[in-house]
Structure 1
């Protein structure tokens, strides 16, 4: 079932790339004359297109009921197989990674600020999973991994001069 969820995210993201590129071009055209029109347009669209499919996936019901894993790292140490651990850890690192990468391109924000915003967003998603009783586990580990993924991506974004050269 998890593989199908990943397939859906990959498919939706792939299908959305062409319309997303068109939106970037349209926004940049609309902002003509602005010094950072391409950078801002790419960042705004990237945050949405890179984050929305993941949030959609993790709010997709898997049945009914609710459960909570409130002890940090306990869930990470209890995966049944290495492939499940890689899938869960990797997926959670990617949830807010696009936001983490694109936010410093759009605004003057630090890695700590990006991490705080991603943490807040992750807490909201986890609380929604609990409140909606959609058969998903509300986990503090997910919040930690989502936040870490965004912070790492923000760090990469801030250190990348290639992005500055291409999107000026």
Structure 2
């Protein structure tokens, strides 16, 4: 892994902004695919039908897009506040912190939207049984739930900058979501396959950001007399 201190200032700045650029590129790709559903949700939001706007997947994605400028503004403000203390890492850390929240919160919101029927909580503990019924859209959505967390967490925190720890982070967060779905009786199936796919998505995203993972500080050992 390259050390930021060994790079000139423009190179450090470019290297710090690359993770955010990749995340924005991924968001733009999603918007291109989702442009028609987003246009369907826009009239409900403009009309103030917030229950239907914020209680549907399309409406949540639309609100995520609307909040993008605010997220970038918050990242900019954090970078300026810590510019003296963090130096060249200020932008990278700030973008990582905002990216974790901005990229994960909408998916958590979607997972906690109640289903359409009032049924008792259901649990599926047999691995791979539900995977075959998810379909490409379901698998893709589950891969994305904690992708931002897996992508940005090791960039920001050295303690999470290993594949096993990113895997544990994704699996632990997914387990909390599945437990919440069961406890809150949201008419959803709390499935072990959701945990497996969510964790896999976090790891894959983490591997994509591996060149920018935060290195652990090297302990300084003094010489004995």
Runs of 5+ unmatched residues, structure 2: 1-36, 42-55, 214-225
| Higher mean displacement: 109-118 or 144-153 | 109-118
Say which of 42, 47, 55 aligns to 2:100. 47
Q: In terms of Rg, which structure is larger?
A: 2
Question: CA RMSD for the aligned pairs?
Answer: 1.7
The residue number in structure 2 matching 1:158 is 210
1:38 to 91, 98, 101: 91
Question: In the alignment, is residue 61 of structure 1 matched against residue 111 of structure 2?
Answer: no
> Is the partner of 1:134 in helix, strand or coil?
coil
- CA deviation digits over 1:66-102, x for unaligned, max 9? 111110000112x2xxxx6011100000000000000
Q: Does 1:20 align with 2:75?
A: no
Q: CA deviation at 1:32?
A: 1.5
Counterpart-to-counterpart distance in 2, 1:38 and 1:32: 8
2:222 paired residue number: none
Does 1:87 find its partner at 2:137? yes
Residue among 56, 70, 74 paired with 2:129: 74
- Residue 107 of structure 1 and its aligned partner are, at CA, apart by 1.3
* 3-state SS in 2 of match to 1:74: coil
The one of the two structures with greater contact order (alpha-carbon pairs below 8 A, sep at least 6) is 1
Provide the C-alpha distance between the structure 1 equivalents of 2:75 and 2:181, rounded to a whole number of angstroms. Answer: 32
Aligned equivalents of 2:163 and 2:208: distance in 1?
10
Measure the CA separation in 1 of the matches of 2:139 and 2:211: 24
Shift of 1:29: 0.8
Gaps of 5+ in 1: 162-168
**Equivalent position to 1:100, from 134, 141, 150:** 150
Structure 1's consecutive aligned runs of 4 or more residues displaced over 3 angstroms after TM superposition are 3-6
Deviation at 1:160, TM superposition (A): 6.2
Distance 1:138 1:128 in 2: 9
For the pair 1:135 / 2:187, whether they are aligned, the reply is: yes
| SS of residue matched to 2:83 | coil
Residues 155 and 212, structure 2, Cα contact 8 Å, conserved in 1: no
CA shift, 1:12, in A, is 2.2
- Normalised TM-score (structure 1): 0.86
Q: How far off its partner does 1:115 sit? A: 1.0
